Every structure is written in C-alpha cells, then in structure tokens.
Amino acid sequence: MIYMHACISICMSKNSSKARVTMTVDQEILQRAKKRAEEKHIPLSGLIESFLDFFSDPKVYCFDCGKEFHSSESELCPKCGWMKCPSCGICRCNLDEDIAKAVFYMRKVYEDLLIGRVE
C-alpha cells in the first residue's frame, strides 16, 4: 500500500504546464515500482501522472461497443445504477447475470486499486 503523508510539496513552473511533486511512499513499494517501470520502459513520473489523471477523471470502455468515454460524460441508469454508454446507451440492464457479475468484479478490482485496498 502506498502511504502518502500529510506533507506533499508541489512546485509549479511559470514556463511549463508540469509541476514538481514530492511525496513520501513506502520504500519497498517504490523499489518494486521503479523496477517494473524500468522493465516496461515507462518513466515513474508518467505512471504517477497517468494514475492521477485516471483518478481525477476516469476514462472507461463500454463493455458492449468498446468505445472509450469519461465517466463524467455518462448518465447513471435509474434502474440498475450503472453508467450508460454515451454512444450506444447500454448499461447493466442489457447484460445476462453471469456477464454482469464478471464486469462488476473486474470493476471492483480497479476501484480497490485506486483507493489502495489491493496490495
């Protein structure tokens, strides 16, 4: 689990849209993340930026038509409570029970990752 402490420093540059962020995380997690990032040739800062972008404005894919959309662009179905795809209008109501369970638990894994419940 990543532990962010109350003190996070952010330095903004006038000449760039980027900001320097300093935070405290568990050393073991940081080392594992650095190793995995190096193996995948991804800068650690890019991973953090991607995570923060997704966390602040999630992009998801429709499980029917496959189109990507921001969760903020969708309406919630009043019957099932799931997001409706802005392109095709499909929600959980259109899924058979076994597929709906699979989609639900896959989504739950991502939500757990976002809030740090998965180690």
pLDDT tens, residue by residue, 87-98: 999 999 988 899
Mean pLDDT along residues 100-116: 79
- Judge if 63 and 114 occupy the same domain: yes
pTM tops 0.75: no
- Rounded distance, CA 74 to CA 68, Å? 11
pLDDT value for 74: 92
Q: Are the beta carbons of 8 and 23 closer than 8 angstroms?
A: yes
Supply the range of the domain harboring residue 8: 1-56
Instruction: Give the CA diameter of the chain.
Output: 53
- Judge if 13 and 24 occupy the same domain: yes
Q: How many domains, in total, are found in the chain?
A: 2
